[in-house]
Amino acid sequence: MKTLHIWRREFGAYFRSAFGFVVLAAFLLLSGYFFYSDLLFFFLWGGQSLHRGLWDHAFLDMRLVLLLVVPLITMRLFAEERKLGTMELLWTYPVTDRQIVAGKFLASFSFLLLMLTPTALYPQVVALLCPLSPGPLIAAYLGIVLLGTAFIACGMAASSITESQVLSAVLTYAVLVLSWFLTWNEAIASEPVMRGLLYLSLFDRFYGFVSGVIDTSDIAFFLVFIGFFLFLTLRVLESRSWRGVW
């Protein structure tokens, strides 16, 4: 129940200033623009299966927009509380660290879903023009939600270690962009190492979903990734017991 109250406060905080509206608008503007470009490309130039190719492109572009936007959503989660000192009070209420982490995580997750919901209009636009196969679309949406949630978990962990929101966002960008680019250059590592990197790459794990394939090992990978960063956040919160300050 207390998780729900924390969720409500945190989710409400996005909209008590213009921040939430601006981020939401920016996400929709960018993803809408990308979708429009992809749609034009397929109708004007065609050449590939629209059912597969269009969603492939549209969701890979949406991934890029999420990469830009999610660190902005998560940067304030703990950094702001740290700066204001509000965590000290929260810790004196009968609430556990897990409830705090869960409430904040779910608030960002809800914001992610809120951002993605209007994009459900895109397939409906396509459905007006030609028949639509829902299978690949469901896989792609599952993938983008898992990827966005993984970004959130990573961003929340970054937010828990600093009181600067800017630093928190930069740190999240650094971790996520590095994990993306690391698999780009095969010359930087030997083949077995590169295979390992590919295995651990968030972005390479995402390709299966946009191709319309739901692989349980990919789902498990995302869940482990998310669980790891939630665990890390909890450990950072608990560090107050030996650091004294937080």
Partner 1 sequence: MIRAEHLSKVLSGVRAVDDVSFLIRRGEVVGFLGPNGAGKTTTLRMLAGVFPPSSGRAAIGGHDVVADALGARRHLGYLPERISLYLDMTVRSYLEYVAAMKEVARRLRPGAVDIVMQQCGVTTVARRSIGTLSKGYRQRIGLAQALIGDPEALLLDEPTAGLDPEQVAEIRALVRRLASTRAVLFSSHALGEVQVTCDRVIILSRGKILAEDAPAALAERLRTMTSITVEAEGPVDAIACAVSSVDGVRTVHRLTGSTGRIVRLRVETEPGRDLRPDLVRAVIDAGFTLLDLHADALSLEDAFLALIGRQTERP
- As a whole number of Å, the end-to-end CA separation of the chain is 25
Counting contacts by CB under 8 A, is residue 96 touching partner 1?
yes
Q: Which part of the chain contacts partner 1 (CB under 8 A), choosing from 40-48, 104-112, 217-225, 235-243?
A: 235-243
CA distances from 28 to 36, 69, 150, 246 (A): 12, 11, 20, 36
Q: Are 27 and 65 in contact (CB under 8 A)?
A: yes
CA 136, distance to chain mean position in Å, is 20
For 111-154, give the secondary structure using H, E and C.
HHHHHHHHHHHHHHHHHHHCCCCHHHHHHHHHHHHHHHHHHHHH
Counting contacts by CB under 8 A, is residue 9 touching partner 1?
yes
Name which position in 5, 98, 195, 235 contacts partner 1 (CB under 8 A).
5
Dihedral (CA of 206, 207, 210, 214) sign = negative
Counting contacts by CB under 8 A, is residue 88 touching partner 1?
yes
Name which position in 89, 129, 177, 220 contacts partner 1 (CB under 8 A).
89
Q: Which part of the chain contacts partner 1 (CB under 8 A), choosing from 37-45, 52-60, 82-90, 122-130?
A: 82-90
For 40-78, give the secondary structure using H, E and C.
HHHHHCCCCCHHHHHHHHHHHHHHHHHHHHHHHHHCHHH
CB of 226 to partner 1, least distance (A): 26
CB of 240 to partner 1, least distance (A): 5
CB of 151 to partner 1, least distance (A): 24
Q: Which part of the chain contacts partner 1 (CB under 8 A), choosing from 83-91, 132-140, 162-170, 189-197?
A: 83-91
52 versus 240: smaller Cβ distance to partner 1: 240
94 versus 192: smaller Cβ distance to partner 1: 94
Binding site for partner 1 (CB under 8 A): 2, 5-6, 9, 13, 16-17, 84-86, 88-96, 240-241, 243-245
